[in-house]
Amino acid sequence: MRKLLQKAGLRLTLPRRLVMKTLEEMRAPMTAQEIYHHISQVDLASVYRTLHLFCRLGLVYKESHGEETRFYVAYSPHHHITCRECGQTECVPCNHILKTIKGFSDIEHQFILTGLCQKCHH
């Protein structure tokens, strides 16, 4: 990570280290605000700036879970399924569903699943 930043003339700062540390520790998709509350020592604006940077560098991925935008570090290609009731999220491994779709290149995809987990299914 330090290398990657420095190659682009960027600096490895405390906020950047803390945001990455948080995402790696939690190993779950988090909103910018959640990350901010977890750190409580870095300004919210900086959390947003850091997340944008990380996404641009491909260090972090961003997706929408219902209403909110969540960010996460991808250890391996996978998708998430979220309980619409309690928000609990699990990973669903992805087996290279897509190779090419005619007429488009450089494809990115988000496969977002929501449902009710056993606890919430009444």
Q: Please identify, among the stretches 6-14, 28-36, 38-46, 76-84, the one whose residues bind its own copies according to the rule CB under 8 A.
A: 76-84
Burial pattern 8-25, b for ≥16 Cβ within 10 A else e, equals: eeeeeeebbebbbebbee
Q: Does 115 bind its own copies (CB under 8 A)?
A: yes
Nearer to its own copies, 7 or 121 (CB): 121
Token look-up 């897509």 returns 98
Assess 7 for contact with DNA (CB under 7 A): no
Size of the site for its own copies (CB under 8 A): 25
Find the binder of its own copies among 8, 84, 91, 93 (CB under 8 A). Answer: 84
Regarding 56 and contact with its own copies (CB under 8 A), the answer is: no
Pick between residue 75 and residue 104 the one whose CB is nearest to its own copies: 104
Question: To which residue do tokens 């850091």 refer?
Answer: 50
Whether 27 and 74 have beta carbons less than 8 Å apart is answered as no
φ and ψ of 59, to 5 deg: -85, -25
Nearest to 97 by CA among 80, 112, 81, 111: 111
Residue 71: name the closest of 84, 90, 52 by CA.
Answer: 52
Which residues here bind its own copies, judged by CB under 8 A?
64, 81, 83-84, 90, 92, 98, 101, 103-118, 121
Which residues here bind DNA, judged by CB under 7 A?
2, 5-6, 9-16, 31-33, 41-46, 48-50, 52, 68-69
